[in-house]
């Protein structure tokens, strides 16, 4: 299993650097363009949430992105230094009274674009583990 790691300060302007890191890793694993786009969108959403919601844009706090290539899967872990949250407590963004809300779509996006998303919470922060599998070859 190969791995790559990027650590960034909690600054919005670092999201572009992280997106390029993710895109490069997905292309290296030979995902098609559509899957590369989905991976980049989903994981940059997780990074954005870590910077804005968890670390409160405190550039003394870091966001760590680790990517593991394992068999036919790209496993990405985004770690922040925030207090955590209740994933089950997020309102469904598809309900009529939530459609116009400006936030609350991140977890929905992750679950829609990736094969699995798991959360691990500790006093040191949150780890979001995301998996995208390569499509089966015919």
- The stretch 5-33 carries a mean pLDDT of 97
Encode pLDDT of 100-120 as tens digits: 665 566 788 898 999 999 999
For residue 16, give Cα distances in angstroms to 12, 19, 45. 8, 5, 11
Q: Which residue has the higher pLDDT, 92 or 37?
A: 37
Averaged pLDDT score across all residues of the chain: 90
**What structural domains does the chain harbor?**
2-133 (3.30.565.10)
**What DSSP designation does 136 have?**
P
pLDDT for 125 beyond 80: yes
Supply the pLDDT for residue 104. 60
Supply the pLDDT for residue 96. 66
Asked which of 40-44, 74-78, 83-87, 123-127 is least confident by mean pLDDT, the reply is 83-87
**What DSSP designation does 4 have?**
E
What does pTM read for this prediction?
A: 0.90
pLDDT for 17 beyond 90: yes
Encode pLDDT of 53-73 as tens digits: 999 999 999 999 999 999 899
Of the candidates 47, 84, 41, 74, the one whose C-alpha atom is nearest the C-alpha of residue 63 is 47
Q: pLDDT band at 2, cuts 50/70/90?
A: confident
């Amino acid at each position: 299993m190969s791995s790559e790691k990027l650590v960034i300060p909690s600054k919005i302007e670092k999201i572009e650097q992280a997106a390029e890191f993710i895109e490069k890793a997905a292309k290296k694993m030979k995902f098609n363009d559509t899957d590369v786009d989905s991976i980049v969108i989903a994981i940059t959403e997780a990074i954005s949430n870590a910077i804005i919601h968890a670390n409160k844009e405190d550039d003394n706090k870091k966001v760590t992105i680790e990517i593991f290539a394992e068999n036919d899967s790209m496993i990405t872990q985004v770690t922040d230094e925030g207090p955590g949250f209740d994933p089950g407590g997020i309102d469904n963004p598809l309900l009529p009274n939530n459609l116009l809300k400006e936030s609350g779509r991140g977890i929905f996006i992750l679950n829609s674009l990736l094969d699995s998303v798991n959360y691990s919470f500790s006093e040191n922060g949150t780890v979001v583990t995301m998996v995208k599998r390569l499509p089966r070859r015919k």
